[in-house]
Amino acid sequence: MLSTPPGRGGTPQAVDRTTLALAAAQATVPSPKAAQTPIRTPKATNALTRAASPKPTHTPTRAVSPKPTDMPSPTSSPKPTDTPRPAETASAAPPATATPPRVAAQVVDVVDGDTIRVRLDGGIYTVRYIGIDCPETRDPNRPVEWMGPEAAEANRRLVEGQIVYLEKDISETDRYGRLLRYVFLADGTFVNAELVRLGYAVVATYPPDVRYQSLFLALEREAREAGRGLWGAVPTSPPTPSPAAPVCDCSGNLYNCSDFPTQAAAQACYNYCKSLGRGDVHRLDADHDGIACESLP
């Protein structure tokens, strides 16, 4: 700034002061660069804040992301729950060895190898053993069969006078009104099966009563292979001759010598009556020499 040269009055001093004041003012006013420096300082602070704030915040969020949470899902899947299902199904099925209800009865008579009579509920009932057949001894239309008496005796030894336990299969009675039952003793002996095992009975299958069919067949095979009872050698014996027709009636004095055509016929009657212990009941030997009707030809 120009100043008035000195020597022209007091004006130069005033100019100088003004100039100095302006110069001093310019010296004390901060430059724009210095004034902007503290303003930028928060920007640097904000930059640090921006850099630090989201990263720490996101880091734990990623650590607890839903992916690890989903990992236990296979453990809680229904597959392990399905594992015990077969066991539940098996337990619901009735066990093969379950014992059906049995009823106690008192044996009062042994009819034959496979039939008994019992006292039950205040009454007397005929019981036919299920699943087996023994030789006949009581059928009026059939002769006594081989091993029939032995089978009846074996049954008698097992059950006579005993308390037995009757087990029903499907049918209640047969066509003759007999109770159809499996028979057990107090010690657990299965009478039907024991008679088959000993060879005194054969297996007789009549559906639907077949609960112990497999057991009976196995025991029959065992008895046959061992040659027991019915499966043994059949004894051979000569046929029994038919009784001869009576020669004459020896019940009293009924004949004379004139009743016989020949001496031989009279002699035959005489001998026959003597063989029966009747002696000379007809007085055919008059002289007691053992020859009847000697006068006949």
**Residues marked as catalytic:** 128, 136, 178
Residue 104 three-state SS? strand
Identify which of 201, 218, 226, 50 has the alpha carbon closest to the alpha carbon of residue 130. Answer: 201
Q: How far apart are the first and last CA of the chain?
A: 216
Quick check: 202 and 230 in contact, CB under 8 A? yes
Identify which of 224, 99, 94, 116 has the alpha carbon closest to the alpha carbon of residue 163. Answer: 116
Interhelix angle for 54-63 vs 32-52, to 10°? 0
Residue type, 1: M
Bridge-based pairing of strands 179-184 and 102-112 is unpaired
Q: Is 105 exposed, middle or buried (0-12, 13-18, 19+ CB in 10 A)?
A: buried
- Residues 85 and 78: their CA atoms lie apart, in Å, by 12
